[in-house]
Amino acid sequence: MMSDEDKQDELFSDEPPPEEVEAVDEETGAGEDEFVLRDLIDENFLEYAGYVIKDRAIPSLEDGLKPVQRRILWSLHRNDDGKFIKVANIVGYTMQFHPHGDASIADALVTLTNKRYLIEGQGNFGNIHTGDPAAASRYIECRLTPLAREQVFNKHLTTFIPSYDGRNDEPVLLPSKLPLLLMLGAEGIAVGLATKILPHNFGELLQGQMEILKGRSPKKILPDFLTGGVMDATEYDMGRGKVKVRAVIEKKGKNQLIIRELPYNTTTESLIRTIEDAIRKKKIKIRSIQDYTAENVELHLNLIAGQDQDETIKKLYAFTDCEISVSSSILCLENNRPVELTVNEVLRKLSDQLVETLRLELEWEKNRLLDEFHHKTLVQIFIENRIYKDIEECKTYAAVQKAVLDGVNKFRHLLKRDVNKDDVEMLLGVRIKRISRFDIEKNRKDIDEILIALDEVEKNLGRIVDYAVDYLKNLKKKYAKDYPRLTRVDEDGFKKIEVRKLTASELKVRYDASAGYLGHEVKEGEELLQCSSLDKVIIVWKDGRYMMIPPPEKLFVDKNVEYVGVFDREKEFLCVYTHNQTSYIKRFNFGGCIQNKEYSLCPKGKNKLLLLEEGAPEEVYVKFAPMKNQRVHQLKVKVADYAVKGAKTKGNQLTAKKIKNLGTKKPKNWDDESDLDPNAVLDF
Which fold would CATH assign to domain 248-321? Gyrase A; domain 2 (3.30.1360)
Residues of the chain with CATH 3.90.199.10: 59-176
Q: Nearest CA to 520 among 537, 500, 502, 545?
A: 537
Q: How much is the pLDDT for 428?
A: 85
Architecture in CATH for domain 499-663: 6 Propeller (2.120)
Q: Quote the Cα angle for 293-297-302, to 5°.
A: 80
State pLDDT tens for residues 428-472.
Answer: 887 765 565 557 778 888 889 999 999 999 999 999 999 999 999
Residues of the chain with CATH 2.120.10.90: 499-663
Q: How much is the pLDDT for 30?
A: 52
Q: Rounded mean pLDDT of 348-374?
A: 94
Mean pLDDT computed over every residue of the chain: 87
Longest distance between any two alpha carbons in the chain, whole Å: 160
What's the first-to-final CA gap in the chain, in angstroms?
Answer: 98
Residues of the chain with CATH 1.10.268.10: 357-482
Q: How much is the pLDDT for 480?
A: 94
Q: Rounded mean pLDDT of 214-221?
A: 91
Q: Do strands 240-246 and 236-237 pair parallel, antiparallel, or not at all (unpaired)?
A: antiparallel
Given a cut of 70, is residue 249 above it in pLDDT? yes
Q: Say what the pTM is.
A: 0.78
Q: Rounded mean pLDDT of 377-401?
A: 85
Q: How much is the pLDDT for 683?
A: 37
pLDDT: which is higher, 135 or 48: 135
Q: How much is the pLDDT for 675?
A: 44
Percent of the chain with pLDDT over 70: 90
Percent of the chain with pLDDT over 90: 60
Q: Rounded mean pLDDT of 221-225?
A: 95
- Is there a contact between 102 and 73 (Cβ–Cβ < 8 Å)? no
Strand, helix or coil at 5?
A: helix
Residues of the chain with CATH 3.30.1360.40: 248-321
Superfamily of domain 357-482: Topoisomerase, domain 3 (1.10.268.10)
pLDDT: which is higher, 245 or 48: 245
- Range of weakest confidence among 303-307, 436-440, 594-598: 436-440
State pLDDT tens for residues 559-573.
Answer: 999 999 999 999 999
Given a cut of 50, is residue 366 above it in pLDDT? yes
DSSP 604: S
Q: How much is the pLDDT for 678?
A: 43
Q: Rounded mean pLDDT of 489-508?
A: 84
Q: How much is the pLDDT for 423?
A: 86
Q: How much is the pLDDT for 54?
A: 66
CATH top class, domain 59-176: alpha beta
CA 427 and chain centroid, separation: 62
Residue 139 catalytic? yes
Given a cut of 50, is residue 499 above it in pLDDT? yes
**Which amino acid is located at 613 in the chain?**
E
**Which amino acid is located at 561 in the chain?**
V
How far apart, in whole angstroms, are the C-alpha atoms of residue 358 and residue 340? 26
Q: Which of 48, 93, 117, 139 is catalytic?
A: 139
Q: Rounded mean pLDDT of 373-385?
A: 86
How far apart, in whole angstroms, are the C-alpha atoms of residue 542 and residue 218? 68
